[in-house]
Structure 1
Amino acid sequence: MRAAVLYENNEIRAEQVEQAVCGADEVRIKVMAAGICGSDIHKMQTRWKYPLPAVMGHEFSGVIVEKGADVAHVEVGSRVAGIPLVPCGKCEYCKVGEFSLCEDYRMVGSHFHGAFAENVVMKATNVIDIGDMDFEEGAMLEPLAVAMHGVLGIKPELGDTVVVFGIGTIGILVVQCLQLAGVKDIIAVDISDGKLAEARKFGCRYTINPREDNLAEKVQEYTGGRGADIALECAGSKVTQEQCLRVTKKKGKIGYLGIAYADVLLPEEAFENIFRRELTLKGFWNSYSAPFPGEEWTTSIAFVNQGRIQLKPLISHRYKVEEVGDAFAMILGREEDYNKVMILPQEE
């Protein structure tokens, strides 16, 4: 089959590779769409710690074309999304249904070959039916479930004002989930005017570009001097990870969804806000709960199929498997705005 193969940091080549054998408890999925995750960029550049050569891609959907002898709950021809986390099922966290915290998990696209290929073989327990959902939407269920995990976990209340830092794919999905949760006002923060324009299209009442305006002063203005009830960090930037501490009101809540790729050193004032304002800080990793894969996934599928969450408008670029290297080069070059970049493995 054709696949985009990572040989070492920053070296991806499209070529023919042997297909994996489909085991008794596995299925083979013909991959129809696969998204590039922000974490893929960092891992591909400098942080790859898994076996090489590798095929990346953990956000994907497709059609089951083969199933193992022991697989009974899904059928050949089913339209499914892949659930990339394979929990160990044995650690103390798995035993209580906290699968995101598994002590010995493995991931499709890291520990196993992933979906930047014509097909992928995985455990049958790691697929979920998407019905008639568009395949590109199905490939975005994984990042949507990540956003849903954070919003469900931070527990916004009806009428809250929330600041969302970072209006990329996860940020916009968080915005849509917050609206469904009954949040009154959403303040979007980003250094890209293009992304702030997108935020307004998706219902954010206020937008702030900190390069042009004083962030803290604007949040105070938009909240009547109180500060935000909740701040959600989706950018994975040490700057925004600190800024959350400056804009949240007393007794407010902060949720961190973005990965830290550098040390976060806090100025005295920002750190003091944690205890002087008695802030609640929570981290959100991955997108799973019990019963596996969890309400994050089932709720996401329901809202997309009901038309209450929009995914297709977030797709900015589409590439073939042979062009995966070009897709990464575009993202790393930052010469044009992008949002979700989609890989379409099948020949037209």
Structure 2
Amino acid sequence: MRAAVLYEKNEIKAEEIEEAVCHADEVRVKVMAAGICGSDIHKMQTRWKYPLPAVMGHEFSGVITEVGRDVTNVVVGDRVAGIPLLPCGKCEYCQSGEFSLCDNYRMIGSHFYGAFAENTVLKAKNVIKIHDLDFEEAAMLEPLAVSMHGVLGIRPKVGDTVLVFGVGTIGILTVQCLNLTGVKEIIAVDISDKKLEDARKFGCTHTINPQKEDLKARVLELTNGLGVDIAMECAGSKVTQEQCLLVTKKKGKIGYQGIAYADVLLHEEAFENIFRRELTLKGFWNSYSAPFPGKEWHNSIEFVKQGKIKLKPLISHRYAVQDTAEAFKMILSRSEDYNKVLILPQKEVL
């Protein structure tokens, strides 16, 4: 099969590789669409910590083409999305249903070959039926479930004012999940005017570009001098990770979803706000709860089917699998504005 294979020094080659064997408890999925995740980009910017050669891709959808003899939850022809986490099932956290916190988890696309390929093999428990959902939308269920996990965990109340730092894919998905909870206002913060323009289309009531206006002063102006009830950090920037502490009201809540790409060193005011304002800080990792994969995934599918969450408008680029290296080059060089970038393994070479 054709796959995008990662080698040393971040070299990606499109080549023919041998298909994996489908064992008794596994299924083979013909991959129709796979998304490039922010964590994939992060791994390429730092150091790949997993076995090489590798095939990345953990956000994906496709069709079941083969099932192992012990598989009962799906049949050949079922349309599915991949669930990339393989929890150990034995540690304290798995035993309590906190699968995102598993001590010994493994991931498709890191520990095992993933979905930047014409097909992939995975445990049958790691697929979820999507019925008639569009394949490109279904490939975005994983990041949507991540956003859903954060919103469910921060527990917004009807009438809250929420600020979202970073309105890329995860940020806009978080905004859409927040809109379902009855919050009163959503303030979007980003340094891209284009992303802020898009944020308004998705329901943000106010937007702030902190390179053009004073962030703290503008937030206080919008909140009668109090600050926001909740700040959600989706940018993964050490700047915004600190700014959350400056714009949240007393007894407010902060949800951290963005990956830390560098050390976060806090100024005195930001740190003191944690205890002087009695802030609640919560981190959110992955997208899982009990029963596996959890309500985050099932909610996501239903809200997309009902049209309450829109995914297609977030897709900015589509590449054939043989052009995966070009996709990463575009992202890492920031040569173009992008949002969600998809790899389409069944796309024909022109």
Q: What is the deviation of 1:97?
A: 0.3
Equivalent-residue separation in structure 1 for 2:149 and 2:30 (angstroms) = 28
Equivalent-residue separation in structure 2 for 1:260 and 1:147 (angstroms) = 17
3-state SS of the aligned residue for 1:9? helix
1:126 alignment counterpart: 126
2:195 alignment counterpart: 195
Equivalent-residue separation in structure 1 for 2:47 and 2:277 (angstroms) = 36
Contact 1:164/1:175, CA 8 A, preserved across alignment:
yes
Equivalent-residue separation in structure 1 for 2:191 and 2:301 (angstroms) = 31
2:281 alignment counterpart: 281
Q: What is the deviation of 1:336?
A: 1.6
Q: 2:165 matched to 1:173? A: no
1:267 alignment counterpart: 267
1:316 alignment counterpart: 316
1:101 alignment counterpart: 101
Equivalent-residue separation in structure 2 for 1:197 and 1:219 (angstroms) = 18
1:341 alignment counterpart: 341
2:24 alignment counterpart: 24
**TM-score, normalization: structure 1?**
0.99
Unmatched segments (≥5 aa) in structure 1: none
2:140 alignment counterpart: 140
Contact 1:3/1:17, CA 8 A, preserved across alignment:
yes
Q: 2:251 matched to 1:251? A: yes
Unmatched segments (≥5 aa) in structure 2: none
2:220 alignment counterpart: 220
1:325 alignment counterpart: 325
Equivalent-residue separation in structure 2 for 1:37 and 1:197 (angstroms) = 23
> How do 1:21-170 and structure 2 match up within 5 A?
21-170=21-170
Counterpart of 1:31 in structure 2: which amino acid?
V
Equivalent-residue separation in structure 1 for 2:347 and 2:135 (angstroms) = 15
Equivalent-residue separation in structure 2 for 1:290 and 1:18 (angstroms) = 35
Q: What is the deviation of 1:335?
A: 2.0
Contact 1:9/1:46, CA 8 A, preserved across alignment:
no
Counterpart of 2:246 in structure 1: which amino acid?
R
Q: What is the deviation of 1:47?
A: 2.4
Q: What is the deviation of 1:42?
A: 1.3
Equivalent-residue separation in structure 2 for 1:208 and 1:64 (angstroms) = 45
Q: What is the deviation of 1:6?
A: 0.3
Equivalent-residue separation in structure 2 for 1:347 and 1:325 (angstroms) = 15
Q: Deviations over 1:281-305 (max 9, x none)?
A: 0000000000000000000000000
3-state SS of the aligned residue for 1:47? coil
Equivalent-residue separation in structure 2 for 1:47 and 1:184 (angstroms) = 42
Equivalent-residue separation in structure 2 for 1:159 and 1:342 (angstroms) = 36
Counterpart of 2:300 in structure 1: which amino acid?
S
Contact 2:26/2:123, CA 8 A, preserved across alignment:
yes
- What is the Cα-based RMSD across aligned positions, in Å? 0.6
Counterpart of 1:136 in structure 2: which amino acid?
E
Q: What is the deviation of 1:14?
A: 0.4
Q: What is the deviation of 1:347?
A: 3.4
Q: 2:232 matched to 1:232? A: yes
Counterpart of 1:61 in structure 2: which amino acid?
S
Equivalent-residue separation in structure 1 for 2:26 and 2:274 (angstroms) = 47
3-state SS of the aligned residue for 2:46? helix
Contact 2:87/2:106, CA 8 A, preserved across alignment:
yes
Equivalent-residue separation in structure 2 for 1:270 and 1:292 (angstroms) = 37
Q: Deviations over 1:197-218 (max 9, x none)?
A: 0001101000000000000001
Contact 2:2/2:15, CA 8 A, preserved across alignment:
yes
Counterpart of 1:189 in structure 2: which amino acid?
V
**TM-score, normalization: structure 2?**
0.99
Equivalent-residue separation in structure 2 for 1:21 and 1:301 (angstroms) = 29
Counterpart of 1:147 in structure 2: which amino acid?
S
Counterpart of 2:202 in structure 1: which amino acid?
F
Contact 1:9/1:45, CA 8 A, preserved across alignment:
no
Aligned residues: 348
Counting aligned pairs with the same residue, the percent is: 78
Contact 2:321/2:347, CA 8 A, preserved across alignment:
no
4+ aligned runs moved over 3 Å, structure 1: none
Q: What is the deviation of 1:224?
A: 1.3
Q: What is the deviation of 1:45?
A: 3.0
Q: What is the deviation of 1:57?
A: 0.2
Q: Deviations over 1:187-242 (max 9, x none)?
A: 00000000000001101000000000000001011111110000000000000000
Q: What is the deviation of 1:13?
A: 0.5
Equivalent-residue separation in structure 2 for 1:10 and 1:184 (angstroms) = 45
